[in-house]
Amino acid sequence: MDLRHPEEILSLKGGQGNQRQEAQALKSPCNKVCVLDLQSGLCKGCLRTLDEIARWGGMSDAERENIMAVLPSRRSDVPEIPVPPLS
């Protein structure tokens, strides 16, 4: 196997499934602030439950859109994460 040009090998692999995963990633509310609020059971970053986070990749577009629609109303259920001021 010739590994001098691995980018060519990677571009040949993958199919429609990979395109679907990229589309899902674009719609995810995840902002990489993964802190679970124990009282509400919601992530303080994206406001989803652990179950919603775990199932996100396998959900239909309609399921994800339903969750995205309720996220703004969940904001009041989760205390904000304190951020120290920049120096």
**Residue 8 is assigned to a structural domain of this protein:** no
DSSP state of 77: G
Cα distance between residue 80 and residue 36, in whole Å: 12
Q: Is residue 2 part of a domain?
A: no
pLDDT of residue 24: 45
pTM of the model: 0.63
Residue 5: inside a domain: no
The mean pLDDT of 8-27, rounded to a whole number, is 52
Residues 6 or more apart in contact with residue 54 via CB below 8 angstroms: none
pLDDT digits (tens, 9 = 90+) for 29-76: 999 989 999 999 999 999 999 999 999 999 999 999 999 999 999 988
User: Is 7 part of any domain?
Assistant: no
Domain total of the chain: 1
Asked whether residue 68 is domain-assigned, the answer is yes
User: Does 15 have pLDDT greater than 60?
Assistant: no
Residues 19 and 14: their CA atoms lie apart, in Å, by 8
**Domain span at residue 57?**
19-76
On whether residue 12 sits in a domain, the answer given is no
- Distance CA(24)–CA(55), nearest Å, equals 12
